[in-house]
Structure 1
């Protein structure tokens, strides 16, 4: 029998969106307990349930009246709670799969498209204002932009780490060919060189130098499990499909949320650009360390012939 503490320990992410941390995890973790302990429900089944509840929210959005908008907002939030539960069940029981990850991602994107079209079409039919149709396209575009950008940035970070590892391997192989067994442990190597090669590579140095004040804010947020990227795709969806309908400020919420999300995306892209400069500097330092090692005189215990 799983306990609530086990659910928190095994399923809570180290950092997550503030909406998830504050408004979803407390409920989702408690709903996971009876499902994990007393049913054989799978993460994929929960993903499908979340999608169907999202479709129910879309149906209420299409009605367009105040009560229906409230119901749609509540159902959309519950759909997101279920969407978080599938991952928790998978991590708790170790039943996750690559197909499940794909299914969850695709259903999320389709849910956004359906809800955006139904919400804005309903408002257009009520008001005859074509602005709502344009906003439907905007919501779909911004959601696509956010998650495509996130995927590409993930690939870029992985490629940057790969380049660092490859550069170190190449340097190591070059030194070994010249008779130096280890450029990190070689007795004849310069101490600063050994330190350079053992240190953990930080590709956020330029960002930290320029925005040192931000680090204190980041640390405080992370202590509360909140990731510093305060307005991501999750917050965007929640503002558009929950706060906007509840407060009856659909146009205003979509426009302002889209602007905020775009600014945060630009900030991430700028940070990544700075990281690419850090990457080039690190690659140059690795090359310099290799050259220093190669020009060091051999020590008595060295394997250099």
Structure 2
């Protein structure tokens, strides 16, 4: 079991840490020791359970759909653990896992919207299904683009350091990595300075949030508490189990929190891109790479 737990992500969503991994780890141990199932096989099983969940949602059976969605997500958590435990993961398996997740969410959103619309005739459920699908796709389209930007900024930061071995033109500024880090810290402090002018209520909320940091780190929970996983759990597990009355308010609230989280991540990315330009613009040689 220690070997299985070692395959868990260093940081994960609180839903996964507390409500999925305790079961998924034990099932992974059984699957690893007593079956020859592959990560791709688990991904296919997860997708099949997700489609079954969508069919139950379409039939108006919310509780059954919620249970199947939970099982689908749990199996989806197992494929990565098996891959890391046995070393049987493949690059193509990453694609299978990624696309399978998107198909599952779209199918379940469509099934949920269809089932409730057929039962009530309320077009709000159609809008709900479309909104869930759009938010999920935006999140997964936005994430790799943000990673590309961060990687580009890191490349620029590396270019500022002579440790890379790049030749310097005469008259260029030569700086050490420690000097760069100091300048970056000062730039971040300057960018963060306006935070002192925030309303007292906002400062208190942020202060409270920082206090729970050690707790989150201890249980390897990501600091953004409302990610896509929690969004899916709210829409496809919690709300259906509560009943049809909870679908609209719970899904809308979870969607709003997810959108706020994405806005916050974009803000952090923007702040991150401002630091290199403020740090040492004089050493830039390619005008096309200047960050604004």
State the TM-score bracket (shorter-chain normalisation). Answer: 0.7 to 0.9
Provide the rounded CA distance (Å) in 2 between the counterparts of 1:164 and 1:251: 46
Q: Which residue is equivalent to 2:231? A: 236
**Partner of 1:18 in structure 2?**
14
1:54-73 alpha-carbon deviations (Å, 9 max, x no partner): 11111111111xxx211110
Tell me: CA distance 1:208–1:76, structure 2 relative to 1, closer, same or farther (3 Å).
farther
Name structure 1 gaps, 5 residues minimum: 185-192, 289-305
CA separation in 2, counterparts of 1:156 and 1:112?
A: 27
Question: What secondary structure is seen at the aligned counterpart in 1 of 2:232?
Answer: helix
Mapped to 1, the partners of 2:57 and 2:277 lie a distance apart of: 50
SS of equivalent to 2:212: helix
Aligned to 1:28: 24
Output the CA distance in 2 between the equivalents of 1:71 and 1:203.
54
Offset of 1:208 from its aligned partner?
A: 6.5
The structure 1 residue matched to 2:262, chosen from 262, 265, 283, is: 265
Specify whether residues 283 and 84 from structure 1 end up closer, same or farther in structure 2 by C-alpha distance, changes over 3 A only.
farther
Aligned to 1:223: 218
Q: In the alignment, what sits opposite 1:63?
A: 59
* Deviation at residue 203 of structure 1 after TM alignment: 11
Mark the CA change 1:235 to 1:90 in structure 2 (over 3 Å): closer, same or farther.
same
User: How does the TM-score come out when normalised to structure 2?
Assistant: 0.83
- Greater CA drift, 198-207 or 29-38: 198-207
Q: Summarize the Cα distance change of 1:96–1:282 in structure 2 as closer, same or farther, 3 Å threshold.
A: farther
The more displaced of 197-206 and 112-121 is 197-206
Out of 207-216 and 115-124, give the one that drifted further.
Answer: 207-216
Conserved 8 A contact 1:62-1:123: yes
TM-score (norm 1): 0.80
Cα deviation, 1:169-199, whole Å, max 9, x if unaligned, reads 5995444x66x9xx67xxxxxxxx5731587
Aligned twin of 1:94: 87
Distance 1:174 1:270, change over 3 A: same
SS, match of residue 14 in structure 1: coil
Which contiguous aligned blocks of 4+ residues in structure 1 show a shift greater than 6 angstroms?
198-204
Q: Which residue of 1 aligns with 2:119?
A: 126
CA deviations on 1:45-93 (whole Å, 9 max, x unpaired) are 00000000111111111111xxx21111011001000000000000111
> CA distance change for structure 1 residues 201 and 39 in 2, over 3 Å: closer, same or farther?
farther
Confirm or deny: 8 A CA contact 2:213 2:223 kept in the other structure.
yes
Deviation per CA, 1:109-152: give whole Å up to 9, x if none. 01111111111100000001111111111010000111111121
* Cα distance, 1:261–1:269 mapped onto 2, change above 3 Å: same
- Given the superposition, is the C-alpha separation of residues 242 and 166 from structure 1 closer, same or farther in structure 2, using an over 3 Å criterion? same
Residues 1:205 and 2:188 are matched in the alignment: yes
Distance 1:208 1:79, change over 3 A: farther
- The structural deviation recorded for 1:96 is 1.2
Alignment counterpart, residue 196 of structure 1, candidates 179, 198, 209: 179
Q: CA offset at residue 264 of structure 1?
A: 0.9
* Contact residue 164 and residue 283 of structure 1 kept, 8 A: no
Corresponding pairs, count? 269
> 2: distance between equivalents of 1:142 and 1:155?
20
Contact 2:43 2:76 in 1 (8 A): yes
Q: How many Å separate the matches in 2 of 1:194 and 1:22?
A: 40
Which residue is equivalent to 1:149?
A: 142
Residues 146-174 of structure 1 deviation map (CA, whole Å, 9 limit, x = unaligned): 11111211111111111111232599544
Contact 2:46 2:75 (C-alpha < 8 Å) held by counterparts: yes
**Cα distance, 1:105–1:241 mapped onto 2, change above 3 Å:** same
